[in-house]
Every structure is written in C-alpha cells, then in structure tokens.
Amino acid sequence: MSRVNSYPIIIQGGMGAGISNWELARAVSRLGQLGVVSGTALDQILVRRLQDGDPGGHMRRGLDRFPFRKMAERIWETYYIPGGKSEKQSYKSLPKHSKDSPRELIELCVVANFVEVTLAREGHDNPVGINYLEKIQIPHLSSLYGAMLAGVEYVLMGAGIPLKIPGVLDRLANHEPASYQLQVTGAQDGDDTTITFVPRDFMDRELPPLLRPDFLAIVASNTLAVTLLKKANGRVDGFIVEGPTAGGHNAPPRGKLQLNEAGEPIYGERDIVDLEKLRQLGLPFWLAGGYGSAEKLREALAEGATGVQVGTAFAFCAESGLREDYKQALVKKAISGKAKVFTDPLASPTSFPFKVAKLEGTVSEREVYAARPRICDLGYLTEAYRTADGTIGYRCAAEPVSVYLSKGGKEENTVDRKCLCNALMSNIRFPQVRGGGGYVEKGMVTSGDDLSEISSFMSSDSSVYNAADVIAILLAPDPALDASDQGLIPCTGNTAFPSHVLQREG
Ligand SMILES: Cc1cc2nc3c(=O)[nH]c(=O)nc-3n(C[C@H](O)[C@H](O)[C@H](O)COP(=O)(O)O)c2cc1C
C-alpha cells in the first residue's frame, strides 16, 4: 500500500526516551503538523506504565486495539499492577536485548510500538511518525513492525547510517520476514550477526498488507545524504538536516575532535551542510537545530526546505513526557536567563556528543553522578562485540568499570560515561528504585541550545505553554508582509495559518 504525500511544514522531532510520547505527538498531529513519537525503549516504558497502575487506562485502551489478542493479554497479565506499585518497590527487570532476544521481549517491542502509535493517532486523521536511533539496532525489526501494524506514516531515523531500513519497511509492509545486520566490534567473516524477524511467527491470523511508511533519514552531512540515496536498499523519501545546536545526540564534528575551553566539541566550516547540493538531490528536506521560531522557519522555507524539525520547544510544553519538576525548573531558568546547556563529549555510551541541560539534583551535576552506583540493567546502548570464543557479547562504557574491562573494553572509554538508560527513564517519571527505596535513579535532561529561547512561547504571567502555542508562534504571519500577501486562511484549532506554510503536495 502507498499513498499520495502531502508533507508537513513542522515536524515535532522524536525525543527519546518517552519525551515525545503519544500525548505530545497526538497534540501536534491533530493540528495538521507531524507529531513524532519516540520509539526508543518503548518496551520498558509500557511495562513501567502498567506497573504504575496504568493511570487513565490509556495502555489498556491501546492494548485492546492490538490485532493479536493473546499477545496483548500476556503483557497485561505479567505487568499490570492495580493501583500501581509502591514507591519503594523496584520495577520488574526485563531481559536485556541481544541478537537472540527471548520471545517475550520481541512481543513487548511489537506491542509497545503499536500502542504508542495507536494512541498518537486517536481522535484525528492526520499522519503520525516514529523516531528511532539507528545505533539501538536490536529492537528495530519488531519495533517497526508494531508501529506499522498501528499505521505509522513516517519513520525517522538518525544516529547511524540506516542503509538497510528502507528495504525492511518494504518487507514488513507485506508481513514478510526481514533481517538486519547487527554491528559487532571485531566480527570476522562467517560470524552470524544477522537479526531476523518473521511476522508470521507472531500473527495469529492473516492481515492485509500494511502502509509502507515514508522514510526520512536524519543527516548532518551531504556525504551521508548522498550515501543513503546511492546505497540504501529501498526508497528514501526525504532528509532531516540536523545541526549541532539540536537537542539529544549530535553528530561528532568532522576531523579530529577538538574541545573549547569549556570542554565542548568545536564545530567548524566542514560541519555545515551545503544546502545547494542537498537541493540537487531532489528530495524534500527539513532543517533542524535552532529552527524553533517563525523567522527561522521562514529562513528554512527560503532555502528550499519543506519545513523544519523542532525538538526543544516541544520538549518543555505541557504535553511532553518530561517530568513536571524538571520541566518547571528548567522553564524557570530559561525565563530568568539562567539556562545552561553543555555539549558533553563523554556522557553518552554511544560516544556521540550529547547535550545536557544543567539542573540541580540531576546527573548533570558532578556530585550526583559520583554518588550513583555504576549499574547497567537496561542495556539499550550496549556495544555488541566478538568474544574470545566467537560468540557475541554486549558491553556498555557506563557499566561498572571492572565488568567493562573484563569484556575487553578500554578503560579510557569509561571516563565520565553516564547511564543514559536509567537517567532517561527517571526523566519521564519512571526512575528505578533500588534497595527497597534506598537509592532512586536521578534523571539527566537533554535539550538543544534553544532552551534559552522558550520563554517566547509563554505569556509574561505563565510558565506553562502547549504544543499548539509552539505551532501558532512558528506559523505566525511575517510582520514584513501585509495580510493579503500572506493569504491568511483559517485552519485547525483557533490559529490562522498563513497558506504558504500549510501542507503542500510533495
Ligand atoms: C529532549 C530531546 C530528546 C531528543 N531525542 C532524540 C531522539 O531520541 N532521536 C532523535 O533522532 N533526535 C532526538 N532529539 C533531536 C530532535 O528530534 C530534533 O531534531 C532537535 O531537537 C531539533 O533541534 P532543536 O532542539 O534546536 O529544536 C532530541 C531532542 C531533544 C530536545
């Protein structure tokens, strides 16, 4: 199945884990722009929501729509706790992902991705997208299949080179078996590094073919865009061009890593994407990283972009999954001009630079980081490596140093590495509780440099704003043009959208 495209002007960027949840994506898509749920760690997020008693009954509603009933019920029966677990009780551990993950975990990925997309699609007919990090490879196939069962219309992927995802989408749309090559450090010819997912092993009845979502690759260089077009095993539908001021992980600077006085990576001329060359590729593209304002949106359109992808502005709005205490504290810092974002070259076990908002009581502070026992129990960012006996092992540079070294990891890789998995779960109100409440995992918020600009979405007497405020402000008429030039027409919600920024045929 395919469809005629009409492309969004604003893409609300995928923000993992659980920051761009179904509520945020639904709010954005309802207004006719593209809401994108984060597909990162949704298995973990679903089971934690269920152990918290499924407030609002949203997970139950999503599970009820899942086509293969028994799979959904197994999950409900295993994880749902009526009224929620006690504050001192730990969340149940899931097995870590591995090339041959247990069926239970694969089912969870299928169902959790289905639920998130289903809920984001509720109450409107507009497209919804899902975002993944290429580096988190193992859950890709089952996650994509779950999202596609729910009718996801866009798949956006960055943090890696997703050459083989387009072909996977083609196969999964027809419920055909799909494979993905796991990157294994030290792998040798003849090693089996292929992950395979067979939809019919999970289906309890035949279904018609699924929509093949559009695939948008997130790139930070012309070379990567060209490589994807030349070498991908299927259709690439467009690009998100993301610069180094964007929140989340950033592409490392080209060439040898150099740091400024504060210890942040220095980006230079070579890191700037040549938009003329990009335009020549003939595909729609969106600009990301500091494009959260009407002026920047107009600038992007003038550059030939279809629109912009915005993260930071949406991360702090009312509908985002970020926990309320962190959200309010950072909004207040932004309003008072005290917000600080540090591009940390070491924090992420992926070794990509990771933007961290400074906030008291979070792992962004040295003492909080130092007080955390190094534990690796979620394992989404592990590196697969070849062990001495030729099997595949998994290590994370943020796990206990002695364990990492025993797996052949280098000591220098462990310095200042942070457990993003646990911190990101804490950011969205699902901190793991250890030792009967003795230790509760602390969060660490990522944000783009635009954090200092978010006060523009609020009135002077409020520290709260909605996704609709962000969209309305981004689409505000150009004060340099009069109304007749802007072709103002009424649109969804109570905002008048200029016609030049409405959806258009691609
Ligand atoms: C809190 C947060 C989490 C993010 N997580 C992801 C992610 O999981 N995957 C991804 O591709 N991009 C991620 N991003 C990047 C956004 O999708 C988007 O491209 C970026 O925020 C745009 O730049 P801006 O922050 O200046 O608006 C994240 C950004 C933020 C602010």
- Does ligand 1 come within 6 angstroms of the Cβ of 16? yes
- Return the pLDDT at 490: 35
Average pLDDT, the chain: 93
Contact 119, 62 (CB under 8 A): yes
Q: What is the DSSP letter of 499?
A: G
Half-sphere exposure of 198 toward its Cβ, with a 13 Å CA cutoff? 5
Q: Which atom of ligand 1 has the smallest separation from the CA of 17?
A: 8
Cα distance between residue 271 and residue 269, in whole Å: 5
Contact 151, 129 (CB under 8 A): no
User: pLDDT tens for residues 248-296?
Assistant: 999 999 989 999 999 999 999 889 999 999 999 999 999 999 999 999 9
Dist. CA 70 → ligand 1 center (Å): 35
- Does ligand 1 come within 6 angstroms of the Cβ of 427? no
Q: Which atom of ligand 1 has the smallest separation from the CA of 243?
A: 23
Structure tokens that stand for 437 in this block: 């409440």
Cα distance between residue 291 and residue 309, in whole Å: 7
Cα distance between residue 314 and residue 503, in whole Å: 20
- Return the pLDDT at 460: 85
- Return the pLDDT at 477: 86
Q: Which atom of ligand 1 has the smallest separation from the CA of 310?
A: 27
Residue 208 CB-density burial (10 A; 0-12 exposed, 13-18 middle, 19+ buried): exposed
Contact 468, 12 (CB under 8 A): no
- Does ligand 1 come within 6 angstroms of the Cβ of 383? no
- Does ligand 1 come within 6 angstroms of the Cβ of 242? yes
User: pLDDT tens for residues 20-51?
Assistant: 999 999 999 999 999 999 999 999 999 999 99
Dist. CA 427 → ligand 1 center (Å): 15
Half-sphere exposure of 191 toward its Cβ, with a 13 Å CA cutoff? 21
Q: Which of 3, 20, 9, 33 is nearest to 468 (CA)?
A: 33
Dist. CA 202 → ligand 1 center (Å): 32
Pocket test for ligand 1, best of 24, 239, 296, 312 (most atoms within 8 A of CB): 312
Q: Count CB neighbours of 429 within 10 A.
A: 17
What phi and psi values does residue 368 have, to the nearest 5 degrees?
-70, -40
Q: Which atom of ligand 1 has the smallest separation from the CA of 322?
A: 1
Dist. CA 380 → ligand 1 center (Å): 18
- Return the pLDDT at 498: 34
- Does ligand 1 come within 6 angstroms of the Cβ of 39? no
- Does ligand 1 come within 6 angstroms of the Cβ of 34? no
Query: Which regions of the chain are under pLDDT 70?
Result: 1-5, 482-506
* Radius of gyration in angstroms for the set of CA atoms belonging to the chain, rounded to a whole number: 22
Dist. CA 145 → ligand 1 center (Å): 23
- Does ligand 1 come within 6 angstroms of the Cβ of 35? no
- Return the pLDDT at 485: 57
Alpha-carbon 188 to chain mean position = 32
- Which pTM was predicted? 0.94
Cα distance between residue 382 and residue 31, in whole Å: 37
